[in-house]
Structure 1
Amino acid sequence: MLFSASVRAETILAIGGDEESVLELSPWLYFTQDNEGEGIDQVRRYSSSQWDRLTSNYSNRIGIAPFWVKFSVYNYEERGVDRLLSVANPHLDRIELYHLVKDKVIDKVIMGDNQPFSERPLINNHFIYPFELEPEKLHTFYLKIETEGSATLPMNLWSQEAFAKNIEATSLSHGFQLGALTAIGLFSLFIAITSRSFSYSYYSGYVLSVTLLVATLQGFAFRFLWPSLPALQQIMIPLLVPLTMLFALLFTEKVLQFKYHNVHMLRVCRFGAAYALLLTLTTPFLDYALALYIDIISVLFITVLLMGMAMIQASRGYKLAKLYSLAWSGMLVGAFITGLMYLGFIELPIKHLTPVMLGLLFEILFMAAILAIRYNDERKAKLRIKQEALVQAQRIRQTREEALLIEADSNEKLEQMVQERTLELEIALRELNEANQKLTEQATVDSLTGVKNRAAFDKRLLAEGRLSRRQQTPMAILMLDIDRFKSINDTYGHLAGDQTLRLIAQTLKENLKRPADLVSRFGGEEFAIILPNTAEEGAVLVAELIRKMVAELPISWENATIPLTISIGVSAEIINTENQPNILLEQADKALYRAKNSGRNCVMVYTPEP
C-alpha cells in the first residue's frame, strides 16, 4: 500500500493473519539524523522529505551518530494479530522504541546492552518487542538508535509460531558451535595440565578466548554470565579481541617452533604478543568505536602476518607449517570478509559474523589436528631417544639388562593379566548387580500400568504401619475404583480399557509429590494409595484433587471420547497395633463401597456404621 506525502511516497507494510510468517522490514524502513534535544513529539512531525530509505550502506558501519528509524504497519484483516518486532543486533547501546496508533504514543520501551538484561520486554539475545496489531488500524513505530559499535539493523516482523521455530533452529546451531569450541578448549586445557605443554596451554587459552568472544558477539555471555553488569558488556569485545590475538601469536610461536627454526620470526611473534597485550590493557579505556577499529585492523594485520610466516616455513619443507597454513587460511579469509564488512568496504547478503565464525571453526579443528600430530611426533622422538639410551646401556651391561628386561616383561604381563581378570570380574559383578536390580524392580511393578503391584503395596503397608506406630504419626489409605469400567471394556474393547488404566496410573503418580507416597494397582480397575504422615483432612484434599484431575482427563479412543470418573474411599488414623494397617485398609475399602453406592464420582471418608 502506498500513502503519498508532500515530496515522496512512503511505503507502508500491509499484513494479514498469516500465522507462520516472517517479514524482513528493510524495504519499509526510513531514517533521519537525530537532532540533539528533539524528542518523539518533534520527530513524528517531520515531513516525508526529511526521511530517507534506510540502506545497509548507511547502517552497516561502526560509530555512526544517533539516528531515528521509522516504519508503518497496517492490518487489513478484521481481527487482531500478534506480532514480534526483532532487532537482531545484540550490541546496540540504546534503543528508544515508540509505538503509535493514530498518531498517538501507546507504548514506549527502552532497550540496549547498556541496560540490565532483565529489563528487556522479552528475554532473548536480540531485542524483541511483542505487540498486537488491531484490525484496520495503522501502527507506526519510531526507533531512536544510539550505538558506538556496529549500527547494523536486521529488523524482522515475526508471528509467534515462526519466531519459536527460528529460536529453536538458531539455538541448536549456536549451542553446537559454542559446545564444540568449549569442549575443544577444555580438552586442550586438561592435556596442557597433564603434559605441562606450553603449546596446549596457549591453544587452550586461544580457543577459550574465542569461545567467550563468540558467546559475547551472539549475546549469550550478556544473557547468562553478567546480565546485571551492562558496563562489563561494553568492554568485553575490545578486551577479548586482542586477548585472542595474544594467545594466537604465542601458540604460533610454539607450534611452528620458531625458537629452533627462525629467530627473526620468533622476535616478530613476541613483539606482536606484546602489542596484543598492550591492546588488551588499553582498548577497554578507549572510545568504543575507536577501539573496535583498532582491533579489526590489528586482527587483519596479524592474520596476514601469521599466514605469511607460516607459508615461508611451509616453503622450506616444515610439515607442521604446511598444515598450519591450510588451517589459518580459513581464519584469514573469514576475518578479512568480516572485517571489510564491518569497515563498510564490502556488502554481502549474510550476517557480518558468519564468515569469521566459519573460518574460526575450520581453523580450530585443523589446529587441534596439528597439535595432535606434533604431540605424536614428540612422543615418537622421546621414544627413539629412550631406545637409543637403552641400546647403549645394554652394550655395557648386556647380560644384566637382559635379565632385568625379562623380569620386567614378566611382571608387566602378570600385572596385565591380573588387571584384565580383575576388570572382567568387576564387569561381571556390575552386570549381575544390574540384573538383580532389574529383577527386583520388575517383581514390584505392575507390568500394565507401571505403578507398584499388590505385593509391593502389602510390604509397604506393613512397614509404614510400624513407622506410624513408633512415631505416633497418622497414616492414610486411599482406595480408588474406576466407575463403570466394565462398560468401557464392553463398549470400546479391552485395549481401550488398558489404555485407561495406564493413563489413570500416570495421573496418580504425577499428583503424588512426596517421595514417601505410594500408588499401586490393587487389582482389576482398583488402585490403592498410602500417604504416610497424613491426617484425614490432608488425605481428603489429595483424594479430591485426584478425583478432579481424572474427571478432566481427555481420554479418547478411535475418535470417540470416553467419559471417565472414579470413586475414592479414605481412611486415616494413628497405628497402635500390629494388625491395625489391615483394618485401616478394610475401612478405606468400605468407604469406597459407600462412595460407589452414593452415586459414584465422589470421595467418602470412613465412619463407623451405626
Structure 2
Amino acid sequence: MQAAIRPGASTPLMLRTMLLILSMMAGLACAQPVIPVVGNEDFIRIAPSQLEYLLEPAGTDPAEFLRHSNEHPWQASQSLLLEPPVSEQAVWVRLRISNQSAQLLPRLLEIQWVNLNRISLFQTWPDGELYRVDNGLDVDQTTLYRSAANFLLPFNLHPQAVNEIFIRVETKHLLMLPFYIWEEESYGRYELNYYYLYGLLFGAMLVMLLYNLFLWIFTRDGNYLLYCLYLASTVLFLLSATGIGKHNLWDGNTWLTLHSYPLFAASAFFTAALFFVSFLQLKKRARWMYGFGILASVYWGIELLINLLSHSFPATMTNTAALITSMVALYITVSLAVRGDRIAITFSIAWAFLISSTIILLVMLLGLLPQNFITQHIQSVGILMETVLISIALAQRINRERNLRSRAQQALLSLREQSNRELEERVQQRTEELEKLTGRLRRTNDELQRLSITDVLTGLYNRRYFDEVLYKEIIRSYNNGQPLALVLADIDHFKQFNDQWGHLAGDECLRIVAEELQTNIRSETDCVARYGGEEFAIIMPGLNEEEAIRRAQSICHSVAHKSLSVRGKTLSVTMSFGVTAIVSDKETTSELVTAQADQALYQAKDAGRNRVVGFTSTDN
C-alpha cells in the first residue's frame, strides 16, 4: 500500500494527515511575498508564503475578477496544501514576480501535481491586453502549448517591473500547488534527467515483477501472483501519479486521463490488502486482524469497481480510508514483528523505508529541507527498497516452509534446487530479452518521433514542425533583435501538370522540387517544410529581406533548370516565391508573418509566375 510523491508527482494517500500536520510548520520558512528574478536562474521553487489565494465566488467572470483583483480578500498560504484542502469551488492564486533584469524573460510555470482538472493562467500585459493560457485534465491535450508529464503554462516577465500572474484552478482532488518557474532550456535538461531516473525505477520494478511472475509460474504459490498484481498496480499508479502515463502511454485517452489516478490507487490498495492477508497468514493470527484484512479488501474492491464504472468516491472519504488502512496495517505488521516473526520484521523494515523517505520528501516540499537530487528523489529509492525487501520477505516465507519439509524430502529438495537454477537462467534469459526489446522499442520510438515531424512524400519537415519552428524563431528574433525571413513557394501550374501527366508524375515532381530546395538552403540554420499540397515554406533566421530575396532567386533559377523525365519526355517546372523579413516585436505572430509571405507569393503569381517578390519590394 504505497503511493509516490515528488516534485511533479502526487501526495501519497496514506500520508495525507502527515502533510496537514507538517504544513503548519511551513510558515517558519523565510520567503518574500514578491518573487525576485534576476534573469540567470535555471529554476525557482515558489515557497508557500510567496503565493496568495482565495476561493472563487459563485458566478464570477474571470475578466471582471481581474479588473478588481486588489479588492478581493487574498490570504497568504502557509503550505503547498491550501485550506480547505478539498473544495468544489475554483481557487484563484496570485503570484507577484519582480523581473529585475532589463530584458523580457520568457518563462514556464510548472505545477508539479497531476490531479488538476483545469488550470488557467492570466497576465495583463503593459498595453492592457489580457493574456490567457489553459491546461489540465479536462483541456483538450491537442491544443496545449506543450505536452509534458506535469502541467506547463508559458508566460513572460516584463523588464524592470513587478509582474502579477493569476492562476485559476479547478480540481476534484487535493488543492496541492507546488509551483516552479523554469527557464526553457533548463527545464528540458531537468525533464531528460527526470525521465532517465524514472526509467531506471520502472525498469527495476518491471524486472522484479517478471522475476516474481516466473516464480509463481514454477511454484504456483498464490502469494507470488498476488505480489505481482500488487507490483503491477503500483507501477500503473506511479505512471499516473508522475504524469508519465498521461504523457507517454495513454495520451489521447480521455477516460484514462481523468480516471487513472483514483482507479490505479484503488487497485494498488485492493491488491495490497489481498497480499497482506495472504502473505502474513492473518487467518491463523488474531481474529480481528483477519477481519480487518477482509474488510479492507472488500472496501477497496468496491471503490475499484466504482472507479471502473466512471464514478468516484469523495476525496475526503478515499483519503480517510487510505490513512486508516495504512496505519492499521502498519500496526499489525509491527505487532507481529515484536512477537519475533522474522518475515514481519522484514515487512516492517520495508514499510519504514517507504514511510521515512516519503516524510523526508514532504518536509522538502514544505520548504523545511533544501531541494536537491537526494531529497527530490528519495521516495523513489524508498519504493525500490520496499519492493526488494518484500521480495526478500517472500523468499523468507518460502524458505521457512521449505525447511519444515526438507528433512523428509531430500530427494525432492535436490530436484527443486535444480529447478531453481534453471529458473534463474530463464529469468536471466528473459531479462536479456526484455533489455533487447526495450532497445528495439526505444529505436522504434525515435523513428516514430522523426516520422511525426516529417512529410512522407518529400522527406521534408511537415506543417506541424514548421509551425513550431516559426513560433520559436519569432521569439528568438524578438529576444536577439535579429531579422527573420520567411519564404513561401508554390509550383507553377501544378494542377494542370497533375491533370496532364498524372499523380505519379506529380509526386515525382514534388520530390524533385523538395530535393532542390533542401540542397539550396543553409543546413545548419534554415528550415524547409512542405507547407501544403504543392506549396513549400523556408524559414531563414538572420537574413534581411534583400538577402532572403537573393537566396530565393537562386533557388528559383535552380528549380527552373531542373529537368523531369515523364513518359520519355523531358519536362521542367518553375516556382513562384513570396518573401518577407521582419525583426519581431511583441505584436508579431506566426499568422502575421505567414500572411505577409503569402501576399508576396500571390503578387509573384499575378506578375507572371517563375519569379521572386518581396513583401515590401517590387517585382524582382
2:85 maps to what in 1? 62
Within 5 Å, give how 1:577-592 maps onto structure 2: none
| Among 32, 38, 42, the residue aligned to 2:60 | 38
Shift of 1:248: 1.8
Cα distance in 2 for residues equivalent to 1:57 and 1:538: 56
| Among 298, 303, 314, the residue aligned to 1:279 | 303
1:562 maps to what in 2? none
**One-letter identity of the residue aligned with 1:326:** I
2:167 maps to what in 1? 143
Secondary structure of the 2:173 match is: coil
Cα distance in 2 for residues equivalent to 1:347 and 1:22: 12
Cα distance in 2 for residues equivalent to 1:547 and 1:339: 56
Cα distance in 2 for residues equivalent to 1:157 and 1:389: 63
**One-letter identity of the residue aligned with 1:129:** L
Shift of 1:261: 5.7
Shift of 1:361: 3.0
Does the 8 A contact of 1:307 with 1:332 survive in 2? no
- What is the aligned residue count? 403
Cα distance in 2 for residues equivalent to 1:332 and 1:76: 41
Cα distance in 2 for residues equivalent to 1:117 and 1:546: 33
Does the 8 A contact of 1:327 with 1:366 survive in 2? yes
Shift of 1:219: 0.9
Shift of 1:198: 0.5
Is 1:126 matched with 2:150?
Answer: yes
Is 1:310 matched with 2:333?
Answer: yes
- 1:336 and 1:31, CA in 2 relative to 1: closer, same or farther beyond 3 A? closer
Does the 8 A contact of 1:13 with 1:73 survive in 2? yes
Deviating more after overlay: 258-267 vs 351-360: 351-360
- 1:337 and 1:282, CA in 2 relative to 1: closer, same or farther beyond 3 A? farther
Does the 8 A contact of 1:283 with 1:291 survive in 2? no
1:194 maps to what in 2? 218
Does the 8 A contact of 2:364 with 2:370 survive in 1? no
**One-letter identity of the residue aligned with 2:222:** F
Secondary structure of the 1:324 match is: helix
Secondary structure of the 1:148 match is: coil
- 1:46 and 1:329, CA in 2 relative to 1: closer, same or farther beyond 3 A? closer
Shift of 1:54: 3.5
Could you list the per-position Cα deviations for residues 342-385 of structure 1 after superposition, in whole angstroms to 9, with x for gaps in the alignment?
A: 9xxx9965899978655433322210111223334445555543
Could you list the per-position Cα deviations for residues 128-156 of structure 1 after superposition, in whole angstroms to 9, with x for gaps in the alignment?
A: 12234444566432211111212122222
Does the 8 A contact of 1:238 with 1:283 survive in 2? yes
Is 1:171 matched with 2:182?
Answer: no
- 1:546 and 1:35, CA in 2 relative to 1: closer, same or farther beyond 3 A? closer
- 1:363 and 1:37, CA in 2 relative to 1: closer, same or farther beyond 3 A? same
Is 1:299 matched with 2:341?
Answer: no
- 1:341 and 1:59, CA in 2 relative to 1: closer, same or farther beyond 3 A? farther
Does the 8 A contact of 2:49 with 2:79 survive in 1? no
1:525 maps to what in 2? none
Does the 8 A contact of 1:216 with 1:237 survive in 2? yes
Within 5 Å, give how 1:333-372 maps onto structure 2: 359-372=382-395
Shift of 1:116: 3.5
Could you list the per-position Cα deviations for residues 499-545 of structure 1 after superposition, in whole angstroms to 9, with x for gaps in the alignment?
A: xxxxxxxxxxxxxxxxxxxxxxxxxxxxxxxxxxxxxx999999989
Shift of 1:234: 3.1
**One-letter identity of the residue aligned with 2:136:** G
Does the 8 A contact of 2:53 with 2:74 survive in 1? yes
2:398 maps to what in 1? 375
Cα distance in 1 for residues equivalent to 2:128 and 2:343: 66
RMSD over aligned Cα atoms:
4.5
Cα distance in 2 for residues equivalent to 1:229 and 1:97: 25
- 1:165 and 1:25, CA in 2 relative to 1: closer, same or farther beyond 3 A? farther
2:352 maps to what in 1? 329
Does the 8 A contact of 1:202 with 1:251 survive in 2? yes
Shift of 1:122: 1.2
Cα distance in 2 for residues equivalent to 1:219 and 1:540: 43
Does the 8 A contact of 2:80 with 2:176 survive in 1? no
Report the TM-score, using the length of structure 2 for normalisation: 0.55
Shift of 1:95: 0.9
Shift of 1:204: 0.7
**One-letter identity of the residue aligned with 1:38:** T
Cα distance in 2 for residues equivalent to 1:114 and 1:192: 41
Report the TM-score, using the length of structure 1 for normalisation: 0.56
Does the 8 A contact of 2:230 with 2:272 survive in 1? yes
Shift of 1:192: 1.7
Cα distance in 2 for residues equivalent to 1:23 and 1:311: 38
Structure number with the bigger relative contact order (C-alpha 8 A, sep ≥ 6) is 2
Does the 8 A contact of 1:98 with 1:105 survive in 2? no
Does the 8 A contact of 1:91 with 1:149 survive in 2? yes
Shift of 1:160: 1.8
- 1:284 and 1:96, CA in 2 relative to 1: closer, same or farther beyond 3 A? farther
Could you list the per-position Cα deviations for residues 154-178 of structure 1 after superposition, in whole angstroms to 9, with x for gaps in the alignment?
A: 2222212322232233223222222
- 1:115 and 1:41, CA in 2 relative to 1: closer, same or farther beyond 3 A? closer
Does the 8 A contact of 1:87 with 1:154 survive in 2? yes
2:550 maps to what in 1? none
Secondary structure of the 2:69 match is: coil
| Among 169, 174, 180, the residue aligned to 1:156 | 180
Does the 8 A contact of 2:133 with 2:154 survive in 1? no
- 1:138 and 1:306, CA in 2 relative to 1: closer, same or farther beyond 3 A? closer
| Among 28, 51, 55, the residue aligned to 1:29 | 51
| Among 203, 211, 220, the residue aligned to 2:227 | 203
Shift of 1:233: 3.0
- 1:247 and 1:33, CA in 2 relative to 1: closer, same or farther beyond 3 A? closer
Shift of 1:99: 2.2
Could you list the per-position Cα deviations for residues 49-103 of structure 1 after superposition, in whole angstroms to 9, with x for gaps in the alignment?
A: 6333333276165312312122344545443332222222221111122221127
Could you list the per-position Cα deviations for residues 206-227 of structure 1 after superposition, in whole angstroms to 9, with x for gaps in the alignment?
A: 1111111111111112222322
- 1:340 and 1:24, CA in 2 relative to 1: closer, same or farther beyond 3 A? closer
**One-letter identity of the residue aligned with 2:232:** L
Does the 8 A contact of 1:116 with 1:229 survive in 2? no
Cα distance in 2 for residues equivalent to 1:258 and 1:284: 29
1:181 maps to what in 2? 205
Q: Flag the structure with larger Rg.
A: 1
Q: Which runs of 5+ in 2 are unaligned?
A: 1-31, 423-508, 526-564, 566-620
| Among 226, 231, 238, the residue aligned to 1:214 | 238
Secondary structure of the 1:303 match is: helix
**One-letter identity of the residue aligned with 1:329:** A
2:132 maps to what in 1? 108
Secondary structure of the 2:103 match is: coil
Secondary structure of the 2:266 match is: helix
Does the 8 A contact of 1:238 with 1:284 survive in 2? no
- 1:376 and 1:24, CA in 2 relative to 1: closer, same or farther beyond 3 A? same
Q: Which runs of 5+ in 1 are unaligned?
A: 1-9, 391-404, 406-411, 417-536, 555-572, 574-610
- 1:43 and 1:333, CA in 2 relative to 1: closer, same or farther beyond 3 A? same
Secondary structure of the 2:145 match is: coil
Could you tell me the percent identity over the aligned residues?
A: 21
2:271 maps to what in 1? 247
